[in-house]
Amino acid sequence: MTPGDQAAVVAARRGVRVAELDTIADFQRVVRLFDHIWHPEPWNPPMTVELMRALSHTGNYVAGAFDGGDLVGAAAGFLAAPAGRVLHSHVAGAVRPGAGFALKLHQRAWALGHGISRITWTFDPLVRRNAHFNLAKLGALPEDYMPGFYGPMGDAVNAGDESDRVLAVWRLEDPRVAEACGGVPYRPRIPRDAVTGLALREGRPVAGPSGGRVVLVALPEDIEALRREDPEAAKEWRHAVRDVLGGLMAEGARVAGFTGGHYVVERPGGR
């Protein structure tokens, strides 16, 4: 099955239709959808009509997922360096279960059809459901940890927190990715000698040994709720994950996947 056929089958199974967007009316609907998801301040929209018009007109990626006549997901991205080989998916959001996965498979098929072998995007490393979606369901892997990447962000999801991000790299032709897109989530093997560099204990982060060959880094169950209900605990998690996960990646460690609420990190030359 070709990636395009696979994307069409998955979309049909999830009851959505995914298509590229190219009209002002469609772009206006995307802005309203993103406003509903992120509730941004007026000065901080995730995407504007004018930018989507420019992206679409210049051959970049702007697409939406529809449930009947309702727009239930959208994504926009632009070509990145190295030229002709990478698409950077700048923003994607969905409000219907299954629409996000259908969008990403459509994006993968679009990229491969344009000779592009990698898609990148950023995500907050503290958001557990996003880590599971990106690493397990899609087979992407974080390849860079970037503290405070966007600066202060004015929206209901990110307000009051620092905008640390990891760069997810989706290597579209990797067998791991192909299997994940075929419905087999990628779950890395955890060896018996793995150590827990960061644990979840009574809602708080607890640092542990991080010198092993394989290090597990836990995440809070719901960082977005924690930001609202216990900002100090949310801040603790931000700094703990930055120190442990960011520190390991800065030393050259490789994130091998995400399972059981933990990043699985392989550290070269672990003790």
Q: How many Å apart are CA 213 and CA 195, to the nearest integer?
A: 8
**pLDDT above 70: percentage of residues in the chain:** 96
3-state helix, strand, coil in the chain (%, to 5): 35, 30, 35
Query: What pLDDT band is residue 151 in, cutting at 50, 70 and 90?
Result: confident
Q: What's the pLDDT at 133? A: 98
Write out pLDDT tens, residues 129-141.
999 999 999 999 9
C-beta pairs of 78-83 under 8 Å, 24+ apart in sequence = 79/116, 80/120
pLDDT at 43: 83
Residue 51 has pLDDT above 50, yes or no: yes
**Domain range summary for the chain, segments of one domain joined by +:** 3-181, 195-266
- The C-alpha atoms of residue 24 and residue 68 are separated, in whole angstroms, by 20
pLDDT digits (tens, 9 = 90+) for 168-186: 999 999 999 999 999 999 9
pTM for the structure as a whole:
0.93
Mean pLDDT of the chain: 94
| Residue 271 binned pLDDT confidence (cut-offs 50, 70, 90) | very low
Q: What does the block give as tokens for 147? A: 């503290």
pLDDT tens profile 211-238? 899 999 999 999 999 998 999 999 999 9
User: Six-digit token pair at 160?
Assistant: 């009051």
In whole angstroms, give the CA distance from residue 30 to residue 201: 40
CATH 3.40.50.2020 fits 3-181, yes or no: no
Q: At what angle do helices 99-113 and 3-13 cross, to 10 degrees?
A: 160
State the CB neighbour count (10 A cutoff) for residue 5: 10
